[in-house]
Structure 1
Amino acid sequence: MNRSKPAPKPGLRRRAFLRGAGGIVVGLPFLELFAPRKAAAGPDDAPLRYLQFIHPQGTVWNQWAPTGGETNFTLTPVLSPLQPHVDDLVFIRGVANDVSWLNSLSNGHNSAGRTLLTAMPYSSNLDGQGNLLPQDQQVDNDTAAGPSIDQVIAQHMQAPTPYASVNFGVGGPDVGEYQMLFSGPAEPVSLEGHPQEVFDKLFTNGDPMAPSTAELIRAQRKSVLDSVDESFKQLDSRLGAADRMRLEAHAEKIRELEMKIGNTGKPGIGCGTPTVSLPPGFSPYTDGGIYDVDSSRAFIDLMVMAMACDFARVGTLQYTNYHGPTFPWLGLGVPGGYDTWHTWVHSVEDPASDPTVVEVFRWYMGELAYLLQRLRETPEGDSTLLDHCLVLSVSEFDNGSVHSGYSLPYILAGSLCGALATGRSLDRSGRKHGELYAAIQQLYGVGSDTFGWAPLCAGPITL
């Protein structure tokens, strides 16, 4: 989690926290009781959020892109899990990452990862004036020369929250070639890879620098909610009907997270490499955690609660371990003859003809659908958390088998309090991904018409 900007204390005191025995502090959702009078009138005064959902290895393009027109389109097989949320979505095709090719000596993964959210070349591939160096003076791998879009938005917000952003790595914190988040030139932002540690930091102490009180709670075998039970009762007596429903729903979600994460009989779901059944000939990935469907859902729940509690207003869910994940809960395995998921994706001539490849990419969209469901069912003010969000979903490729980035699979979700018209499928062929980010940053009040590498940004895309 990015602690680059500590929260101003007056803002935190005005916001709702409950303090219990042992110094335990539990964050609360937005309640009308603690809001200015005008904020209770409607969602316009609710804080805006920005979330990113990043999955690796591209997609199956001819089973991803919706068919039909801008508003009368049909979802394809890979996108089918998103059908219940289609009115909250904007699909964008035709937007290219041409910046990746500026790092001419890099392999496809390194450059695609560094440039996906920054739209900037490697730092070492620019001279002192910011000009691109000729190929014979370039390096094959480096950090990005500018910030990622999430950090630009977080820095512009200057939100009075404990964290500027929360960033989770499903599959472990080791991003390898896929370091995507940067707070500035050559300034990578790390991911949190263990759900238990994230839970402890976010929900057991209001001071993000002192999460150790969670250990005291475990030693006493008491729930976090039990420790603030009396404070909950006192607050409940002061609430109106709407606030009481929000508080009860919030407490239930925290209790569910405790049961899901805390009672596993091990340090944490994401700690260490789980035991899975691998097909013959498969070599376990040794540089990161194997995917776990339970940790994916746990991280999504944690992200939603972090937003609801206002611990941060910017967040990223990045599915790491692009090279060798396995998906045992889908009943799928890497076929004999291929040592990893990565080599399999590269070797499939027609991904659309391989039902296993299609099913894996559909699973990612199912996890996105779960995130949207959780945001939609979380009330905030007179609407929901999703109404106050913009969620960006994308992969570094459109077709992972050939490292293609000519039409990245962008999905936007949420209306951002009405700033974005949803329920649409847009063709923006010929435009660059820095131009998309220029448009997104303007939705949050960033005044610049450019983002990333200026020669490849002709101005914001029309959304």
Structure 2
Amino acid sequence: MRRSTRRTFLRAVGASLATLPFVNMLADSVAQAGGEELPLKFVAVYHPHGIAAEYWAMRAGDTETSFDIAYENCSLQPFDDPAAYGRSFKDKILVVEGIDHLSNANGHDSAGTMLTGSRIDGKKPLNLSLDQYLAVERGLGADTRITSVALGVGMDGTESGQTLSFGAGGAPLPKIIHPVEAFNLLFAGLVVGDDPEAQARAARQRELGQSVIDFVKGDINRLRTRLAPAEQQKLDQHLTSLRELEKQYDAPSAGGPACVVPPQPDASKFPSVKQYNGGEPYFDAITDAHVDLLAQALACGITRFATLFMNDLSYANNPLGLPTDNHGSVAHTYDASPVGNDGRPGAGNPETWVPLARFNRYSYSKIARLMQRLDQLGALDSTLIYASSDMGNPAQHSKRNVPTLLAGGANGKFRMGRRIKLRADCPADAPWCGESDATFTPVTNSRILVSIAQAFGVEIESFGSQPDPALTTGALSELT
């Protein structure tokens, strides 16, 4: 909670100014200087291809608070690598085993379940995603320059298998895949400090941008009266987007002791950005650019809600030394032991575990980089990162036991530095049970989403759309 120092500051500037976004940013800076807790921020990160559970799950001898993630091939190793990231972040992660995505769709489409807790119907979920619920519906992003931001690597599609953010009714929202466009959204026209030339340049940009918005809004309002209700709803979505743009022109400043405008990403480092169009060799650089921009935007208070949809490195001579087709030759060839196959019998093939674990470690290295950047900027303790995938066992396209990681300080709302292993979905004597069996007792990711909402002070008891409301109800008490 932002306590007395922030309230005192807002009273001092007066009611007429206190509603402006940049004043709220400055208030956060004042509050931090006074030792107060900053507003909680949220980042959801998707990584493809499930998990090699043999190098991710708890091992014999591990306990909830005492566990090793630095052993050879462990995919979680980046979180305990001071040499690479300046410090260990082992005390800032919470690894959860046993979470299920009940999407009623193929494994890849289940990315749309990660933030919605919903079944997938016609390539889209049945309800909005948690980032949009908190930022838009509950208004927690209203006082920031950008209500929420969705970034992606390689794919600009909006089907449930290609994005994380969905509006009302499960309507997919666009995401940005070019780092320069992400920079322009987050930082163009932003002024930090009192440089008169920069302020004048930003003022001209805002005046021009507002003129364009006023013209477009006038056209939309004139057209609206001529359309049927369904078409009017579509126009209303455009008006919402325009209001988001207006916020950017109303918020020329940013606050925070570590707030600087970063340099614009060098577009020459990624001459192509799209998958299947030559972008693959640049995905690593694109991911790093997105991570760094997100960290700075969160530290500046430009936004509090973000999603990042990562990709693989499917191209010849990739830096991981993996086959050109990470999907077909790594994920699909994974031959799991019972650890990675929901307790089902079979020894599996250890040779197939290592390549997938290597890719998993790469994905987690990007989350460790985000944590490192946030830590350097003083924003890690007030940020909650939720990372997951669309599948558990990718060779089976299984939506059971998907890798689930919470990270950051989360303003103390969750007890970090732990591993949690939830009950198995099926009893040991019936490992092949499924959703139609009475013995199938899943723990859905809706429980995670309810817990996150409550951490933001939104007292809901359910989130998502499943045939049985019990599957979407209740926070996951183990997190706290």
The alignment's TM-score, normalised by the length of structure 2, stands at 0.67
The equivalent of 2:365 in structure 1 is 366
Asked if 1:184 corresponds to 2:168, the answer is yes
Question: Aligned in 2, Cα 1:367/1:160: closer, same or farther, shift over 3 Å?
Answer: same
Match of 2:459 among 414, 438, 447: 447
Checking the alignment, whether the CA contact within 8 Å between 1:63 and 1:352 is kept in structure 2 is: no
The equivalent of 2:10 in structure 1 is none
Q: How far apart, in 2, do the equivalents of 1:313 and 1:375 lie?
A: 13
Asked if 1:459 corresponds to 2:462, the answer is no
Q: How far apart, in 1, do the equivalents of 2:155 and 2:197 lie?
A: 31
Q: Deviation at 1:118?
A: 0.9
Question: Aligned in 2, Cα 1:88/1:333: closer, same or farther, shift over 3 Å?
Answer: closer
Deviates further, 365-374 or 398-407: 398-407
Checking the alignment, whether the CA contact within 8 Å between 1:146 and 1:185 is kept in structure 2 is: yes
Q: How far apart, in 2, do the equivalents of 1:196 and 1:29 lie?
A: 29
Match of 1:395 among 383, 389, 401: 389
Q: Deviation at 1:186?
A: 3.1
Asked if 1:161 corresponds to 2:155, the answer is no
Q: Deviation at 1:295?
A: 1.3
The equivalent of 2:58 in structure 1 is 66
Question: Aligned in 2, Cα 1:401/1:386: closer, same or farther, shift over 3 Å?
Answer: same
SS across alignment from 1:353: helix
Checking the alignment, whether the CA contact within 8 Å between 2:141 and 2:304 is kept in structure 1 is: no
Q: Deviation at 1:333?
A: 4.0
The equivalent of 2:409 in structure 1 is 415
Q: Deviation at 1:363?
A: 0.7
Amino acid at match of 1:404: S
Amino acid at match of 1:80: Q
| 1:67-97 superposed Cα distances (whole Å, 9 cap, x missing partner) | 3111112226111111110001111001112
Checking the alignment, whether the CA contact within 8 Å between 1:172 and 1:194 is kept in structure 2 is: no
| 1:351-376 superposed Cα distances (whole Å, 9 cap, x missing partner) | 75233332211111111111111111
| 1:399-418 superposed Cα distances (whole Å, 9 cap, x missing partner) | 11111121111111123222
Q: How far apart, in 2, do the equivalents of 1:54 and 1:60 lie?
A: 16
| 1:176-216 superposed Cα distances (whole Å, 9 cap, x missing partner) | 53233212213111111110111123222149xxxxxxxxx
Checking the alignment, whether the CA contact within 8 Å between 1:29 and 1:309 is kept in structure 2 is: no
RMSD: 3.1
The equivalent of 1:170 in structure 2 is 153
Checking the alignment, whether the CA contact within 8 Å between 2:382 and 2:409 is kept in structure 1 is: yes
Amino acid at match of 2:184: D
SS across alignment from 2:384: strand
Q: How far apart, in 1, do the equivalents of 2:195 and 2:129 lie?
A: 36
Q: Deviation at 1:294?
A: 1.5
SS across alignment from 2:89: helix
Q: How far apart, in 2, do the equivalents of 1:319 and 1:367 lie?
A: 9
Match of 1:346 among 322, 326, 332: 332
Alignment of 1:45-124 (within 5 A): 46-67=38-59, 68-75=62-69, 77-83=74-80, 84-97=88-101, 99-101=102-104, 106-110=105-109, 112-123=110-121
Q: How far apart, in 2, do the equivalents of 1:55 and 1:29 lie?
A: 35
The equivalent of 1:31 in structure 2 is 29
Q: How far apart, in 1, do the equivalents of 2:55 and 2:42 lie?
A: 27
Checking the alignment, whether the CA contact within 8 Å between 2:95 and 2:418 is kept in structure 1 is: yes
Q: Deviation at 1:225?
A: 8.3
Checking the alignment, whether the CA contact within 8 Å between 2:51 and 2:360 is kept in structure 1 is: yes
Amino acid at match of 1:342: H
Matched positions, count: 357
The equivalent of 1:294 in structure 2 is 285
SS across alignment from 1:409: strand
Q: Deviation at 1:43?
A: 3.1
Checking the alignment, whether the CA contact within 8 Å between 1:57 and 1:396 is kept in structure 2 is: yes
Match of 1:438 among 435, 439, 450: 450
Checking the alignment, whether the CA contact within 8 Å between 2:154 and 2:280 is kept in structure 1 is: yes
Amino acid at match of 1:299: H
Q: How far apart, in 2, do the equivalents of 1:358 and 1:91 lie?
A: 16
SS across alignment from 2:150: strand
Asked if 1:146 corresponds to 2:155, the answer is no
Amino acid at match of 1:166: V
Q: How far apart, in 2, do the equivalents of 1:349 and 1:458 lie?
A: 34
SS across alignment from 1:174: coil
Match of 1:194 among 174, 178, 195: 178
Amino acid at match of 1:205: G
Q: How far apart, in 2, do the equivalents of 1:358 and 1:13 lie?
A: 43
Amino acid at match of 2:36: P
Checking the alignment, whether the CA contact within 8 Å between 2:107 and 2:391 is kept in structure 1 is: no
Q: Deviation at 1:310?
A: 1.5
Amino acid at match of 1:343: G
Q: How far apart, in 2, do the equivalents of 1:9 and 1:194 lie?
A: 34
Amino acid at match of 2:456: Y
Q: How far apart, in 1, do the equivalents of 2:391 and 2:316 lie?
A: 20
Q: Deviation at 1:388?
A: 0.5
Question: Aligned in 2, Cα 1:179/1:13: closer, same or farther, shift over 3 Å?
Answer: closer
Q: How far apart, in 2, do the equivalents of 1:307 and 1:422 lie?
A: 21
Checking the alignment, whether the CA contact within 8 Å between 1:174 and 1:287 is kept in structure 2 is: no
The equivalent of 2:21 in structure 1 is 12
Checking the alignment, whether the CA contact within 8 Å between 1:29 and 1:250 is kept in structure 2 is: no
Checking the alignment, whether the CA contact within 8 Å between 2:99 and 2:401 is kept in structure 1 is: yes
Checking the alignment, whether the CA contact within 8 Å between 1:388 and 1:414 is kept in structure 2 is: yes
Asked if 1:272 corresponds to 2:269, the answer is no
Q: Deviation at 1:348?
A: 3.4
SS across alignment from 1:188: coil
Amino acid at match of 2:364: M
